[in-house]
């Protein structure tokens, strides 16, 4: 069995008279996105500093890639820190340096690359984050959202093994917030680095994270897949999640991923009580990856927003529509079997071709590729099973283009 990349074993830490970590136990898998949530002042930043070795535990052990940090030599600790890159909440950009120099700094100080190689890498990252043409500007000349993207470019420029993100989307509008999440997910999938993310963006962050951990008063109260936290009976966890969860997705205006699951459960109750059949339809904007890569994540999110708005114009009042993933929507269609769902998809495809989804966002985009899967929900069927059936290419599945 592969060992965790990072493991906390009964870690304790006090700062002054404050007990920050109280027997913290946590495993962080390699090559995944792990998100740490919790109330402000619960030790999340101290947790980060322990991971990179800036703080040492009063008791307990931190295992780094199979080796206890307490047994590392000075050289090994420096090598461990060299695997990390960071993006903190305050961005930590240098006001006296241009955007180019800020992004190039890790390459200047930590590599032996030539000036031309550094220039190529910096401009590549700036282009990918929709920051082309501002390399000569200073941080004070940029908006807060643009400063965050510059900080993101700097975090990614060294192609690190592990990236720590501390509230990277705080203060961003919905399009840019989702663009940052989309970018983190895309690059993590592409390059395979490990992400450790501190966030209060619930449930938005559920769309990208594989492991969710809740830290409260120095202890890990929950660790597991994000969808499982909704089923935990702990009143403290439930109160925290409920307090932060908005039933409406900020970007699309439709239900969130958690609301979508609740819509399914409500429909299943009606099926049981009233024998009222229902189906789910899963729409996937297949073009979004190419848009993100070639035109930038912000334009990708603008397209997704327009697509979502267009879909909502063509569903019935009794149906519900929710966000299912970074590029996926789910419709719960009431009083509808599989054949009704199929016919709905054909009608929707025809209707969407008349919508101006790309105009104003990406006028030069010739077409959008969309897939549609659907499945009728049998009585008592688990949500994940019906969702998998709807998304299976071996099941009923349609593909169409929107000009």
What pLDDT, on a 0 to 100 scale, did the predictor assign at position 152? 82
Q: Lowest-pLDDT range, 107-121, 166-180, 265-279, 309-323?
A: 166-180
Can you tell me the distance from the alpha carbon of 93 to that of 32, in angstroms, rounded to the nearest whole number? 27
Please give the average per-residue pLDDT across 141-167, as a whole number: 86
Is the pLDDT at 128 greater than 90? The verdict is no
* Partner residues linked to 337 by β-bridges: none
- pLDDT the model gives residue 120: 96
Grade residue 104 by pLDDT with cuts at 50, 70 and 90: very high
As a whole number, mean pLDDT of residues 15-41 equals 90
C-beta separation of 191 from 163 below 8 A: no
Burial track 78-97 (b if 16+ CB lie within 10 A, e otherwise) = eebeebbbbbbbebebeeee
Distance CA 1, CA 102 (A): 41
- pLDDT of 56 over the 70 cut: yes
Give the residue with greater pLDDT, 42 vs 197.
197
Pick the more confident residue, 103 or 238: 103
Q: How many CB atoms lie within 10 A of CB 17?
A: 5
Work out the percent of the chain whose per-residue pLDDT is above 90: 51
Residue range 159-179: mean pLDDT, rounded: 87
Convert the pLDDT of each residue in 281-308 to its tens digit: 999 999 888 888 777 788 889 889 999 9
* Residue 252 confidence class, pLDDT cut points 50, 70, 90: very high
Does pLDDT of 224 surpass 60?
yes
The arithmetic mean of pLDDT across residues 22-41, rounded, is 90
Give the confidence band of 149 by pLDDT, cuts at 50, 70, 90.
confident
Residue of 326, 245, 312, 247 lying closest to 281 (CA atoms): 312
- State the Cα–Cα distance between residues 207 and 181, nearest whole angstrom: 8
Range 349-378 average pLDDT? 80
Lowest mean pLDDT among 25-34, 379-388, 389-398: 389-398
Mean pLDDT over the full length of the chain? 88
In which band, very low, low, confident or very high, does the pLDDT at 368 lie, cut at 50, 70 and 90? confident
If pLDDT is split at 50, 70 and 90, which confidence band does 320 have? very high
**H or E stretch including 373?**
strand 368-376
List of domains in the chain: 6-244 (3.40.50.300), 257-402 (3.30.70.270)
DSSP annotation of 255: B
Asked if 140 and 187 count as a contact pair (C-beta separation under 8 A), the reply is no
> Stretch 319-347: mean pLDDT, rounded?
94
pLDDT over 60 (residue 27) = yes
Q: Does the structure show a pLDDT above 90 at 238?
A: no
Q: Residue 386: what pLDDT?
A: 95
pLDDT for the residue numbered 91: 64
pLDDT over 60 at 397, yes or no: no
**DSSP letter for each residue of 274-340:** H---EEEEEEEETTHHHHHHHH-HHHHHHHHHHHHHHHHTTS-TT-EEEEEETTEEEEEEET--HHH
- E strand or H helix that includes residue 77: helix 74-81
Q: Pull the structure tokens for residue 94.
A: 């240098």
pTM above 0.85, yes or no: no
- pLDDT the model gives residue 244: 60
Instruction: Kindly state the percentage of the chain with pLDDT values over 70.
Output: 93
- Residue 59 pLDDT > 90: yes
Which pLDDT score, from 0 to 100, does residue 171 have?
78
């Amino acid at each position: 069995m592969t060992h965790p990349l990072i493991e906390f074993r009964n870690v304790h830490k006090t700062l002054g008279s404050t007990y920050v970590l109280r027997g913290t136990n946590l495993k962080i898998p390699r090559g995944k996105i792990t998100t740490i949530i919790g109330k402000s002042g619960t030790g999340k930043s101290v947790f980060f500093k322990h991971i990179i070795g800036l703080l040492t535990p009063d008791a307990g052990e931190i295992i780094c890639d199979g080796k206890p940090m307490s047994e590392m030599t000075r050289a090994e600790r420096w090598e461990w820190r060299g695997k990390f890159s960071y993006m903190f909440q305050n961005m930590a950009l240098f006001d006296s340096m241009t955007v180019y120099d800020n992004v190039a700094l890790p390459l200047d100080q930590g590599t032996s690359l030539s000036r031309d190689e550094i220039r190529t890498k910096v401009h590549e990252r700036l282009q990918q984050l929709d920051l082309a043409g501002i390399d000569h500007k200073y941080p004070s000349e940029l908006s807060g959202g643009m400063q965050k993207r510059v900080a993101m470019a700097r975090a990614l420029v060294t192609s690190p093994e592990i990236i720590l993100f501390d509230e990277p989307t705080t203060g961003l509008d919905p399009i840019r917030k989702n663009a940052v999440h989309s970018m983190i997910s895309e690059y993590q999938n592409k390059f395979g680095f490990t992400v450790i993310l501190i966030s209060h963006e619930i449930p938005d962050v559920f769309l990208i994270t594989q492991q969710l951990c809740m830290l409260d008063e120095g202890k890990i109260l929950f660790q597991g897949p994000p969808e499982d936290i909704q089923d935990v009976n702990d009143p403290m966890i439930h109160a925290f999640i409920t307090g932060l969860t908005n039933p409406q997705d900020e970007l699309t205006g439709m239900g969130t991923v958690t609301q979508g699951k609740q819509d399914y459960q409500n429909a299943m109750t009606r099926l049981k009580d009233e024998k009222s059949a229902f189906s789910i339809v899963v729409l996937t904007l297949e073009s979004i990856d190419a848009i993100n890569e070639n035109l930038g994540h912000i334009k990708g999110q603008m397209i997704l927003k327009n697509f979502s708005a267009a879909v909502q114009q063509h569903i019935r009042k009794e149906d519900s529509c929710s966000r299912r993933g970074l590029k996926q929507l789910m419709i719960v269609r009431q009083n509808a079997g599989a054949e009704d769902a199929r016919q709905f998809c054909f009608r929707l495809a025809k209707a969407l071709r008349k919508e101006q989804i790309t105009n104003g966002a990406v006028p030069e985009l010739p077409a959008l590729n969309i897939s549609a899967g659907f499945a009728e929900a049998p009585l008592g069927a688990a949500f994940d099973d019906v969702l998998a059936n709807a998304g299976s290419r071996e099941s009923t599945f349609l593909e169409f283009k929107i000009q």
